[in-house]
Amino acid sequence: MAGKHFLSLAEIDSLQRAKGVMDSIAYSLRSPMAQLLLVTRDAPPGDGICVRSTQLCPLTWKPYSQSVNIPLDDERVVRNLTAPGAECVLAEPTRDQLRATTICGQRAPDGICEAAIARLKLCKSLYVDVPSIDDCPVNLECVVDHVERYHTHAIAFTRVVGASIDDSYLFKERGEIISIFPTNVVDDVLDANGNVQRRVSLLRDIHPCPEFPYAQKSGWGDDFNNWMSDLRDERYLSTAEYELLLAWRKRWDELYLSRDSSERVTLKTRLTEASRLIVQGRWARLHDYLDEFA
């Protein structure tokens, strides 16, 4: 078993140096984050367009939603996102737009559009009043549902109401797309002159995860009972074995809050062992194990 190095909160806090540069130990603690260009319209009385590079976190699929985080001291963007009826566009830059993305990380004065400085072309969106970025292959048009202030940042929860994709990307394979975008923020480092330089990465390899019968037909995260039903239908389980497992699951749910119940402990052991044998594909051993309780 590999050794583990434990860090206290104070040690974790110390890993970020001045100017946002991280100690190399922090490389393993902070995963790369997909970056995007956040387009907002200046809140009244302003009338400009602001484009800011930030990080993206997908949330739900139905409705399709995303969250973005903005430092609270970036007052222009926070003001834009918290204005009544706020809308925004989340544009995904490619590996060929690193210069423009970096430029949009700077905070231009109110009324000055970073897209003009970075020579990014804006175009009309179809579903919101905020423009999209024509140079980016994907633009997500969003309404801002909620903004949560959390420590040093504001987290904006956005709901996608429309999107645009460049025609040239419509039929590309997934492996080709991820080699172009999204670009993922890796870290900030100091160059030879002591200047902060941001580094980004792209995804490359695609590794398929285990599938049925070692996982649910409908994908990971589906209900246990549905998984057992699929295994019965495909004859990995007999009807008697299926009914036994569902009976264990039903009784487990009934006793879940009875932490001192010995029956609860027994059911936990049985369900864990049966699931372990299934995901390992040890079908003969599984049948023998379940036969012990027939």
Query: pLDDT digit string (tens) for 120-130?
Result: 999 999 999 99
Burial of 135 (0-12, 13-18, 19+ CB in 10 A): buried
Q: How many domains does the chain have?
A: 2
Average pLDDT over residues 222-242: 93
Residue in the structure block whose two tokens are 């969003």: 142
Range of the domain at 120: 9-201
Which CATH number is 58's domain given?
Answer: 2.30.110.10
Q: Is residue 59 part of a domain?
A: yes
Q: CA dist 151 to 66, 72, 177, 228, 236, Å?
A: 20, 9, 35, 44, 51
42 and 75 housed in the same domain:
yes
Statement to judge: residues 255 and 185 lie in one domain: no
Is residue 250 a part of any domain in this protein? yes
Whether 240 and 195 map to the same domain: the answer is no
In tens, the pLDDT along 9-18 reads 888 888 877 6
3 state SS for 219-252: CCCCCHHHHHHHHHHCCCCCHHHHHHHHHHHHHH
**Per the domain annotation, does 35 fall within a domain?**
yes
In a domain, 213, yes or no: no
Torsion region of 61: left, alpha or beta (phi above 0 gives left; psi -120 to 50 gives alpha): alpha
Are residues 266 and 143 part of one domain?
no
Q: Let me know if residue 219 belongs to a domain.
A: no
Rounded to an integer, what is the distance from CA 47 to the centroid of its chain? Answer: 32
pLDDT band at residue 216 using 50, 70 and 90 as cut-offs:
confident
Whole-prediction pTM? 0.84
Asked whether residue 191 is domain-assigned, the answer is: yes
On whether residue 83 sits in a domain, the answer given is: yes
**Residue pLDDT, tens place only, 40-90:** 999 888 889 999 999 888 899 999 999 999 999 999 999 999 999 999 999
